[in-house]
Amino acid sequence: MAGHTVVVEDLLEDPLSDEAVTRQTANDVDTRAILVVPFVRDGRLRTIVYLNDARPRSWTAAEMVFMQDVAERTRQTIEREAAERALQELNVTLEARVEQRTAELARTEEQLRQAQKMEAVGQLTGGVAHDFNNLLTIIGSSANFLQRPNLPEDRRLKYLDAIVQTVERATRLTSQLLAFARRQPLNPELFEVHDQVAVIIDLIRPLVGPNVEIRPPGAYERPHCIRADRGQFETALVNLAVNARDAMEGAGTLIFAVAIEDRSGNGEPNEPYVGVSVTDTGCGIPEENLQSIFEPFYTTKEVGKGTGLGLSQVFGFAKQSGGEVRVASRVSVGTTFTLLLPLVDRTNDDDQPIGTQEPAALAKGLRILVVEDNRDVGAFATEMLHDLGCTTEWFIDARSALARLAQGADDFDAVFSDIVMPGMTGLELAAQIGRDHPHLRIVLASGYSSALADSETLEHVVIRKPYTLCDLANALAQALIPN
């Protein structure tokens, strides 16, 4: 198609028109002169602008230019509208594709998270199973030896000691796992950091060996107090010190420092924190390992020389206590771990540091109501209380215990209850007893409780499973004997 403009001054006189058809058309549409301006693009007719007159006439050049301009503008308008429709359709298509792609990406990310989660769970489970199987092997073997007749007294004591020590190791293992997961029930108390670090330095001197020089924190003008679990704080610094010793292969310098710092650089409020730093002159940590050092069971030590839970405990304790852990390391130079915990102003009368309390002896004759749903644990708990000279009544659920207290709460001096129980939990039981019988003291026992771990303050004395006879006596003393 050529796309030429058609100019007809008189249809009846036009030599290209069929005379009969043209005459009839001219009469029907009342047309004698016409001007047709087509627009052809890419070989296709895109638009036509048509102008007619009922009388014969000559079309001027200006009229033809005007019509060509109208045709061009019409063409542009039509193509623009067509492009806009195409763009809208494309946008709709793109939005649908983006939504589909986003959904696919979200599904893929969720599958990846699940895969990573299962991998982490598998690694964690494998590590726990490995360590606990080792511990159970020692306990089982020792128990089997103890069952032998005519066992010499020295061998019997040896196997009993092995069982006790292994149970303590298992307790530390579960405690470190809970600390990493931030599910370790904490007993926060206010204490001065420099004093506690001095105690820990004395504690670790035999652990690090004679070839490690320990430099204590420098002099300080005012106390640096924190509110944290004293035992977990000690464990965290001991873990850092032991790791430092291993990094230095038993010879080097171990430097402790205490300073006031803030976390504003990490997007946190500019609040003061006590930073306790442990610096070694060891081998350092390669940069590619820094992202993994706080993972449970991650270790670069040889088999049998570490569980990979030490730094996990430090990390979990810091986070659960409202702080964090920072690490700076250079290969072949050394490493600094800094434990940051919120500073407490000791000028507050309610926030005076608490000294280390000596265990108090528990007087005989206490009347204890025991609530424990596990029959084996309940039997052992009542036996331990009997050994302490207490009298007991044991119930396997909280509802039965409350019914007994309704009959006579004055029959008891204290309630000793497990926390994790079906139906009403130990925490719910304690709350109800507090409302109904506020004079009764309560001691709670737990190996793990999410509600207990999430609580910011502990209203009752808590004893952690597994507990010893001494632990139980001290817990009762703390609950019953005024400070």
Give the global pTM.
Answer: 0.47
* Sequence spans of domains, the chain: 126-180, 188-344, 367-480
Which residues, in sequence order, are CB contacts of 341 under 8 Å at separation 6+? 226, 228, 233, 273, 274, 276, 318, 321, 322, 323
State the architecture of 126-180 in CATH terms: Orthogonal Bundle (1.10)
- Report the amino acid identity of residue 289: N
CATH of 188-344, one of 2.40.110.20, 3.60.130.10, 3.40.50.2300, 3.30.565.10: 3.30.565.10
What's the token pair of residue 80?
A: 């623009």
Please tell me the predicted confidence (pLDDT) of residue 27: 65
Asked if 404 and 448 touch (Cβ cutoff 8 Å), the reply is: no
Please tell me the predicted confidence (pLDDT) of residue 335: 93
Query: Rounded to an integer, what distance in angstroms lies between the CA atom of residue 284 and that of residue 337?
Result: 11
Please tell me the predicted confidence (pLDDT) of residue 17: 63
Burial bucket for residue 295 (CB in 10 Å: 0-12, 13-18, 19+): middle
Query: Rounded to an integer, what distance in angstroms lies between the CA atom of residue 483 and that of residue 480?
Result: 9
Nearest to 371 by CA among 421, 322, 336: 421
pLDDT in tens, the chain (483 residues): 466 778 887 777 777 666 555 566 666 667 778 888 887 776 777 777 777 888 888 888 888 788 878 877 877 887 888 888 888 888 888 888 888 888 888 887 777 666 655 655 555 566 566 667 767 777 887 888 888 888 888 888 888 888 888 787 777 666 656 655 545 556 678 899 998 898 888 878 887 888 999 999 988 778 889 988 887 888 888 889 888 998 898 899 999 999 988 765 554 556 789 999 999 999 998 888 877 777 765 555 554 445 556 787 788 888 888 899 999 999 989 999 999 999 987 655 444 444 433 334 555 788 999 999 988 888 888 988 988 888 999 999 999 999 999 999 999 999 999 988 888 988 899 999 999 999 899 999 877 655 555 544 457 888 877 787 888 888 888 787 654
Query: Degrees (nearest 5) of the Cα angle 171, 174, 177?
Result: 150
Please tell me the predicted confidence (pLDDT) of residue 457: 46
Please tell me the predicted confidence (pLDDT) of residue 359: 35
Chain-centre distance of CA 155, in angstroms? 47
Please tell me the predicted confidence (pLDDT) of residue 304: 44
Please tell me the predicted confidence (pLDDT) of residue 53: 81
CATH of 367-480, one of 3.30.70.580, 3.40.50.10140, 3.40.50.2300, 2.70.70.10: 3.40.50.2300
Asked if 430 and 436 touch (Cβ cutoff 8 Å), the reply is: no
Backbone angles phi, psi at 2, to 5 degrees: -75, -35
Nearest to 337 by CA among 321, 326, 346, 349: 326
Please tell me the predicted confidence (pLDDT) of residue 78: 78
Please tell me the predicted confidence (pLDDT) of residue 402: 95
Please tell me the predicted confidence (pLDDT) of residue 119: 58
